[in-house]
Structure formats: structure tokens, C-alpha cells
Amino acid sequence: MSNQQLDQLRNDLDEVNVELLNLISKRGDLVKQIGQVKEQQGMNRFDPVRERAMLDRILENNEGPFENSTVVQLFKEIFKASLELQEDDHRKALLV
Amino acid sequence: MSNQQLDQLRNDLDEVNVELLNLISKRGDLVKQIGQVKEQQGMNRFDPVRERAMLDRILENNEGPFENSTVVQLFKEIFKASLELQEDDHRKALLV
């Protein structure tokens, strides 16, 4: 395989990176909205049962190349970052 | 906002999760292909300059809601998992 093909693969990777960022950001916006609803209803923001259900649904769809354990680890990082967004909103709400 | 709207947001979130998994998996496949090319050409698999360039390109596109530092942290986890895929392939190649 030539350097030209390597360049092409790298261009594809750069595109996928930006698509991933867009999707992670969209997910962040959704989680913020969910946090606002929960805040209004006086519900806890962190729900381990719901988190487990989300992970199960994700793993049902996993066809590789990543092992389930790696997928869980990556999504837990994404969940954690999203939860922090909700907490930032909560702190800001308290300051108003 | 009603429970119905909360359910709708959660459905949207489940869909985004699966889209994210598909994109992370597509990224994993691309990185495996890149690893195979580099293996054939005797190149190092880990390239910190290329990793930095990928991160810079990602951050140029970041319009929130996540801070740049969070985006970097999430992508470094994704990069690490992808590099492990290449290493698995490399070990398998050595065993053939």
C-alpha cells in the first residue's frame, strides 16, 4: 500500500474525528436538557440503573473491533464528562 | 416539561449512543488499517506529532458544550483504545 493510500486513510480518520466530536457534543446538549428537566422535577441527576440500561443497549449493538470492556470504558468516560456538564449547570442555577 | 418529553430525550440519547458506537467502531477499523500499512512499511505505530495534529483539528471544530480540555481527555482515551487495537494486531502478526 502506498503513502497516497496512507494519506487517504488519515483524511478519512480526520473526518471521522470531527463527526465524533459533533456527536459527542450533540450528546452533551441532550444530557444538559435532561439535567434541566430533572432539576425542575427535583430528580437525582445520576441514575445508575439508567446508566446500566444505556450500556446494555450499546453493547447489544457492538460488532467490534473493540471488545465490550473497551466500549464500556470509553462510554463511562463520556457519561462522566456529560454528568459534569449537568453539575456545572446545577452550580450556575444555585448562583442565580 | 413532562415525563413524556423526558422519555423522548432519553430515546434521542439512546440513538446518539448507538451512532457514537458505530463511529468509534469505524474509527477503530480505520486505525487498524493504518496500523497494517505502517507495519508493512516498518513505521512506528505511535506518532505523537500526528496525534497532536489530529487533536488540533478536532479542537478547531469544537463549538461546545464541552470544554477543550474535556474534548482532549475523551479523544485521548479513544486514541489509546485504538492504539491497543493496533498492538493486538501486531502481536497476532508476530505469532503467525
Q: Which CATH superfamily is domain A3-95 in?
A: Chorismate mutase (1.20.59.10)
Domain ranges of chain A: 3-95
- ipTM field: 0.92
Running DSSP on this structure, what letter comes out for residue A21? H
Q: Say what the pLDDT of residue B92 is.
A: 82
Nearest to A19 among B5, B14, B23 (CB): B23
CA distance B16 to B69: 22
Nearest to A36 by CA among B15, B66, B5: B5
Say whether B74 and A78 touch across the interface (CB within 8 A): yes
pLDDT digits (tens, 9 = 90+) for B32-79: 999 999 988 888 888 899 999 999 999 999 999 999 999 999 999 999
C-alpha cell belonging to residue B71: 474534548
pLDDT digits (tens, 9 = 90+) for A34-83: 999 998 888 888 889 999 999 999 999 999 999 999 999 999 999 999 99
Which residues of chain B are within 8 Å of residue A92 when distances are taken between CB atoms?
none
Question: Phi-psi region for residue A2, left (φ > 0), alpha (ψ -120 to 50) or beta?
Answer: beta
